[in-house]
Structure 1
Amino acid sequence: MGYLPDGLEIGPFCPATVNDAGGLWEWTGENAGLYRIDGNFLRMLDGLGYRFFDDEGNVYSVDNATERPTVDHACINVSLDESVEITMLLPVQPVMADTPTALGVVSKVGVALDGVPIFSDAPPIQVTGHMPALDTCGGHVDPGGWYHWHGTSTDVATVFKEENISADCALKQDASAQFGYAFDGFPMYGSLEADGSTPVGLDACGGHVGTTTNGKTYHYHSSKDFPNLPACLVGVVAENNFTTTATAGIGAQRAGEDRRNEPPRPNGGPGGMPPGFEDAAKTLGVTPEALLHAMNEAGGPRADLAAAAAALGIDEATLRNALPRPPRP
Structure 2
Amino acid sequence: MTRRHTLTRSNIYPLSADKTRMLKALRFALIALAAPLAISACGDDSSSTQKSTAVQSARANASQVDIKLFSLNALAKQPEIVDCTLENGDDAQCAKLVVKYLPDEMEIGPFCPTTLDDKGGIWDWDGTKAGLYRLDKAFLTMLSEQGYIFYDEDGTVHVVDNATSRPTVDHACIQVSEDQDVKITVLIPTTPVMADKATPMGVVSKVGIALAGVPIFSDAPSVQHTGHLPALDTCAGHVDPGGWYHYHGTSSDIDSVYAHEHVDAECSNLPQDPAGLFGYAFDGVPIYGSVDANNVMPTDLDECNGHTGLIGDSGVSAYHYHSTNEFPNLPKCLKGVVAKNNFSTTAQAGVGARPPEGTNMSRNEPPGGGRPGANNMSGNGQMVPRGFADAATKLGVSETQLMQAMDDAGGPNADLAKVAKTLGVTDAELKAALPERPKH
Question: Aligned in 2, Cα 1:149/1:175: closer, same or farther, shift over 3 Å?
Answer: same
Contact 1:86 1:245 survives alignment (8 Å): yes
Contact 2:251 2:267 survives alignment (8 Å): yes
Partner of 1:277: 391
Q: More helix by proportion, 1 or 2? A: 2
Contact 1:6 1:114 survives alignment (8 Å): no
2:194 matches 1:80: no
Of 228, 240, 244, the residue aligned with 2:341 is 240
Question: Aligned in 2, Cα 1:123/1:186: closer, same or farther, shift over 3 Å?
Answer: same
Contact 1:3 1:117 survives alignment (8 Å): no
State the one-letter code of the partner of 1:124.
S
Partner of 1:315: none
TM-score, length basis structure 1? 0.80
Q: Deviations over 1:207-236 (max 9, x none)?
A: 001111364211000011000000000000
Contact 1:3 1:115 survives alignment (8 Å): no
Of 183, 200, 204, the residue aligned with 2:299 is 200
Q: CA deviation at 1:6?
A: 5.3
How do 1:81-230 and structure 2 match up within 5 A?
81-170=179-268, 171-213=270-312, 215-230=316-331
**3-state DSSP class of the match of 1:89?**
strand
Q: Deviations over 1:17-72 (max 9, x none)?
A: 01110000000000000000001100000010100001110000000111110100
Which deviates the most, 213-222 or 240-249?
Answer: 213-222
Larger radius of gyration: 2
2:124 matches 1:26: yes
Question: Aligned in 2, Cα 1:127/1:291: closer, same or farther, shift over 3 Å?
Answer: farther
Quote the Cα distance in structure 1 between the aligned partners of 2:209 and 2:233: 18
Q: Which runs of 5+ in 2 are unaligned?
A: 1-98, 359-371, 396-400, 408-432, 435-440
* Aligned-CA RMSD value: 2.8
State the one-letter code of the partner of 2:118.
D
2:403 matches 1:289: yes
Quote the Cα distance in structure 2 between the aligned partners of 1:122 and 1:36: 16
Quote the Cα distance in structure 2 between the aligned partners of 1:138 and 1:179: 13
State the one-letter code of the partner of 2:322.
H
Q: CA deviation at 1:4?
A: 2.1
Q: CA deviation at 1:278?
A: 4.0
Q: Which runs of 5+ in 1 are unaligned?
A: 258-263, 282-286, 294-321, 324-329
Percent of pairs with identical residues: 57
Q: CA deviation at 1:255?
A: 7.3
2:178 matches 1:67: no
Q: CA deviation at 1:3?
A: 4.0
Of 250, 262, 268, the residue aligned with 2:379 is 268
Q: CA deviation at 1:201?
A: 1.2
State the one-letter code of the partner of 2:175.
N
**3-state DSSP class of the match of 1:181?**
strand
TM-score, length basis structure 2? 0.60
Count of equivalent residues:
283
Quote the Cα distance in structure 2 between the aligned partners of 1:221 and 1:75: 31
Q: CA deviation at 1:2?
A: 1.6
